[in-house]
Structure 1
């Protein structure tokens, strides 16, 4: 019988109490598995979190069980008779009619009612999209809900308790969005809906979507409050033994850690990737230059990821008509990624169209054109900036350049025609 037949994917691996890891012969791969255990993670999600092949991960888990380091807990399935009704509903029906949002106390009552049922509806119902909805449709639904339930929309207008209620709702809306715009996560979520119902699926997926470290049950593992730090220290102690092994063995184990780090980077688990690379440096100091270069690359990738978050927040604020706020988010994105033309153009566009900051918008567009002079939209928007500044001739020149690049640019045609009539 192979490993996949022995171990249930629904089991929860738990580290046995009183285990002295120092005295055990633990491989780097087994140490990596142990570093992921938090008392709540199931085997199926442990496999996903490590990026290992299923058979390889199960073999490592089986080895840890045989060594007496971990046990496998089989949780009893929850009885949820009401949720079976939810599974039968294949077409998604919008939970809220966004066209009829009440105000004042009526809105408070709506939020209260929504909090009572939000755990009993699936993500498709929450966003009002079908299971076959395109990514574009999901994004549009998310932005519509952001206009209504984003807590910052009511800054200083609501009491702290009501703000927390809004934050709870928006957090769930945001999680729903993250799951449904990702093809793999959406498929996994639909699978969990079929297997466990609405509440079960939410519980199963929250680990990988929120990326949060769960406290889990207290197992007297010596992890204390700072669990992540304790795990890292534990792994460092294990790898002290490896330093005395032959050079070739050190190199192979370090490269395995490097490969694991690259897998984590693909999943945007930057913290885990850093930990693996730092351990690789400890195991094989000769490869320090290579591993440090990857650490620097990860820093850049994480910054780019943060910039994209700011940009998406700016889009949401812009969709909600909050242009000053959108401009602030775009500005934060540009601070992190000052060469990104997408961020710069969106900032210039909102400054010229909505904030009347024609001079600042003009400066941004000139910077874009210096790097790429083949975009008709840049010249059109620059023409609008000059128009706002009252420079008619300069405006005409930019509209003409836009039409040279795109003769069918309707907005440029319209503006140029209006200027020549004036």
Structure 2
């Protein structure tokens, strides 16, 4: 008689939760969700106050404001999209980034922020969304400061320019001139490099003339 083998119920299949799918990316430098966010925010940009632009509560601390600005800047800085063909999309990115920058330079100032909170929580909110003291001149000054902190777009160009600055500070005009010319090979249309080269060349000529004069006196 064959032995009786007890029946064993098949093991229940273990449910495996698939990993979350990564956000679908595009060849524009933004994923699908970021593109949707960009469209949504730009459509109502003129109705947003600066806290909403930076996606912050009105109780945000200076540290919160700074973090929010750097987050938005990393995502929407126009330099990331210079290669983009879509002029319309570039304009949207520029509009949002300008407003983000404007918001930051108002909200990071304690005095301006306090006044702004009063303005946007009052009955004239719609007329006070843009802080009047955040003039175009101030925004340009902020952009200029940012440009000065990281001059140039090509890493090699920046490297040679920085070395030229060190050479000029040390009074080594020929080396400074040589490095500025190298920087211009990477960024031939960089106005700042050209301006600095002209300054260095003039300084070098003036020094050579002074030395020539002193030799004649001797």
TM-score normalised by length of structure 2: 0.50
Larger RCO: Structure 1 or Structure 2 (Cα < 8 Å, ≥ 6 residues apart)? 2
